[in-house]
Every structure is written in C-alpha cells, then in structure tokens.
Amino acid sequence: MEATAQEVDAAVRAAHDARDALADRTVRAAFLRTAADELEAARDRLVEAADAETALGPVRLTGELARTCYQLRAFAGIVDEGAFLDVVIDHPDDTAIPPVPDLRRHKVPLGVVAVYSASNFPFAFSVPGGDTASALAAGCPVVVKAHPDHPALSELVARVLRRAAARHGVPEGVLGLVHGFEAGVELVKHPLVSAAGFTGSVRGGRALFDAAAARPVPIPFHGELGSLNPVLVTEAAAAERAEEIGAGLAGSMTLGVGQFCVKPGLVLAPAGAAGDRLVKSLTGAVSDTEAGVLLDHRMRDNFVAGVAERTRLPEVESPVTPGAGGEHTVSAGFLTVPASRLAQEGEHDLLLEECFGPVTVVARYEDEAEARAVLSRLPGNLTATVQLSTREAEGEGRGAELVRELTPLAGRVLVNGWPTGVAVAPAQHHGGPYPATTSTSTSVGGTAVERWLRPVVYQNTPPALLPAELRDDNPLGLPRRFNGRLER
C-alpha cells in the first residue's frame, strides 16, 4: 500500500485541480454537513473497522466519531457565517496622515493542504478530523497521509468523504489519501502543497517541519508534537482534598490507556502529610486500573523501555510500577521523585520528557521556591493545570499569581480540573509553545480555519473588478468592519 512518488504527485494534482469546486461557500458548507451525515450512516461499519485496527473499543470510538461529525457541522456553520473571512473595508480619507486610499481586505484559501494523521484518534485527528475539516472549510483541498496504525479505516473514511463530495458536484480528488513514510516526505515537499498539519511525535514532526522550511518555497507547517501537561498542586489544595485530587489524577492519566496528547505527565505535589495522602489516593486508584492495549507494538516497546529507564534513576520510586502487562498489554503506574532532582539540569531531565502511555511522574516539592524552579525549566505544553484550595480559587493567597506563572507554559490553563478532554467549541485552543506545537495556532475550535488562509488587500480597485465579499452593498451578507464600524 506504500504510495509511490508518482502516486503522491497524482493525488496532489487532483486536489489542486479541485480548488475551484470549493470556491462557493454554500457548496462547502453543504459538503461538510453531508460528510457528517454519511459518516453517521456508516457508523457501525467504521467503528468495527477502527476497533479491529486500534483496539480502542466500540464505546470510545463511537463517541469519537460523534465528536468528529459534530466538528464537521460546526465548521459548516462557520462557513455559513463568514466571519472567518475577516472582511475590512476602508473608504478613501484624504484628511488622514498619510492619506488613506480605498482599501478592502479579506482572506483567501492557501491551496492544497497536506494532513498527517494521528495514531491515537483514528477519527478526530485522522482522515475526517479537525485538520481536514478546517482546511475544507477554508476552501482548501486536502491530501491526507494515512497513519500506518489504521490504513483500512483510512481508506473506508476517504471513500465516505468522497461520496459526500460527489453529491455536491465536488471532484473526488478534493480529498486525496496516500500511505507510507516516504509518501509523507514527498507530500510535504510537493510544490503544489501550500501548507501542512501534523499530529504526532516530536521526532517525526520536527523532521517534516524542517523539510517544509527547507523547500525552495517554504510553507506553513502546523505541527502538534508532544506535551508534558504539568499539574501543580498547592499545599492548601492537597490539605483540603488530597483524596479527590489523587482519584482525579488517576482517571486523567490512565484515560485511553494514557494515549491522550493532554495526559498529565508531571505533577508537582507537596512533600508533607497532605502530599502523602494524595499519593496514597493515587496509589489506590491506579492499582485498580486494568491493563490495556496500546495502539501498536512499537509504542508498547517504547513505553516499557521508557518506564524502565526512568525507574533506574537515583531517588525515583515506583509506588505502582507501570510497564508490561500481559503479552500485548501494559499496566498503569506512576513514579515519584524529589522535586529538587528536577530543579536543575542533570540526568533526571529524562523525567521532563513525555512518556506516551499510562504513567505520570509525581515530583514532591519542599517549598514554593522549589516548585517554581521546576516550572521554570519546563518546555512548552498544550496544557498546564493548577489545583487550588477553595480560598485560593476565590482570590485569596497566590491563586491568581500561579495562574499567571503557568500562562507562558501552555495554550490552555486549567484551574481545579483535568486536561484530558478537549471540547470542540469556538473558544477552544489546542496548541502551545514549542514543542507542543510549531506555531501559535490551534487544531481544535473554530479558529483552526485561520491556519489555511492568507489576507489579501485590494487597493483602489474598481467595483466591477472586486470579489463579491468586498463590495460596498455586501451581496453575501457577510459580517465585516466597514469604515471602522463593525457590522453584523
């Protein structure tokens, strides 16, 4: 099933030729809604195929498919509204210094988008996922590089989406699909590819990011690479509800066998009696977690090896030992270490790297200065969480200060919650400072569409030559800023 360079070229050129079919926003919105309808109609067959390849289970996969369909319809609504076009019209003003000519600005699609599927979300971050949905909403055809963990499902879903396209007169080439490592490299280098979206490992994502930047014409590369998702538990929060925090942490770090990109991988907890209660609660909850199957044997091998390497470090203890379960499964667990070991550079820096699977590191700090020293050494993350006491959450103590300190570390900051679960909502941001992502954009939520657009300004252009979006009479009824006034 490995695509040749010729097959990659054919897929990209077919997508490029389909651009004009997406020019009509009405067609785009209808296509997205039909895609959701068709996916739902094929739900049983798709979930069965996904479970056979990923072992994620029908319940989880059915929910993920529902989320994917909701996301497609949400982007259809965004296309209908048209605010994403960011229309701004300024009439001439000779009194300004310097004078302002007639200026009209909106956003246009970049062109063909390459999408690299994720392993852990075979629907929501794969062929029909957020990158694909947002690119199509922007008016960009897509060529998807299928993930090797679910190739058959990828083919099935691609056929469903192409069928939806055909129902609206959109060529099937609007969604291309290729398989294989070399095909992925060829894809990001293709001269007709205008942007790329990636969800995966730091190593793989960085290689593609560098390839995108090294092209004769570099292109935007929006990659989600890896995240530790730190959690800070204040001493007051642990004293108030240690058992609740321990149980919540266990549920979050083991959800989906620890294969969520926002799994909390590092927890800063106090070293005193309250922290002991938290660790005891975490121990009991994790011990009750059944062994699970990771997405493939390579991930399982990396998890087992990564845990073993970490447990060999000085002063690292394992109250519940994670690692190999049965022949194909892994067991959940967690490690503890004095936070002082992480406060300065050394061999324990390994604990500051993501370990994909059901494991977290609990770093016990002696005082606030030690906790802050660890936080100062962390790379960029998708999320950062602080667990506060009731009084701290109401504004007493250092609650507000801690939220401000966590803000530079992540794209989403949580208070008294857990990061697993990324709601599809207009205000959502799923991204963060490098290496969490390679750009400042989001791959979830309405603003994800902005990744695949670029602004164009028309100056002193006769009305007859203007795009309909930029005419004074606003024939498309778009929200816009007209002579400095926001119009809805």
pLDDT in tens, 107-135: 999 999 999 999 999 999 999 999 999 99
Q: Could you tell me if residue 425 is inside a domain? A: no
10 Å Cβ neighbour count for 204?
Answer: 15
pTM: 0.94
* Shared domain check, 132 and 78: yes
The pLDDT of residue 178 is above 80: yes
Tell me what pLDDT residue 488 has.
83
Question: How many domains is the chain partitioned into structurally?
Answer: 2
If you average pLDDT over residues 193-218, what whole number do you get? 96
211 and 294 in a single domain? The answer is no
Please tell me whether residues 160 and 307 are part of one structural domain. no
> 99-110: per-residue pLDDT in tens?
999 999 999 999
pLDDT for 355 equals 95
Give 431: exposed, middle or buried? Use CB within 10 Å, 0-12, 13-18, 19+: buried
In what order do the strands lie in the sheet containing 323-324?
292-293, 329-331, 323-324
Which CATH number covers residue 216? 3.40.605.10
Query: Is 405 in the same domain as 261?
Result: yes
At 305-361, the pLDDT tens digits run 999 999 999 999 999 999 988 778 999 999 999 999 999 999 999 999 999 999 999
pLDDT at 33: 98
The tens digit of pLDDT for each residue in 298-312 reads 999 999 999 999 999
Indicate if the pLDDT at residue 184 is higher than 80: yes
**pLDDT classification of 416: cutoffs 50, 70, 90:** very high
State yes or no: pLDDT of 1 exceeds 80.
Answer: no
Examine the domain organization and report whether 199 and 277 are in the same domain: no
Provide the β-strand partners of residue 176: 143
Q: In whole angstroms, give the CA distance from residue 452 to residue 134.
A: 8
Domain match, 384 and 317 both? yes
State the pLDDT confidence band at 141, using cuts at 50, 70 and 90. Answer: very high
Query: Per residue in 27-42, pLDDT tens?
Result: 999 999 999 999 999 9
Residue 266 belongs to domain spanning: 230-415
Same domain flag for 202 and 235: no
Positions marked active-site: 224, 261
Confidence at residue 309, expressed as pLDDT on a 0 to 100 scale: 97
* Integer Cα distance of 353 and 367 in angstroms: 23
Cα-Cα-Cα-Cα dihedral of 289, 294, 298, 304, to 10°?
0
In a domain, 53, yes or no: yes
Residue 430 lies in a domain: no
How many CB atoms neighbour CB 171 within 10 A? Answer: 18
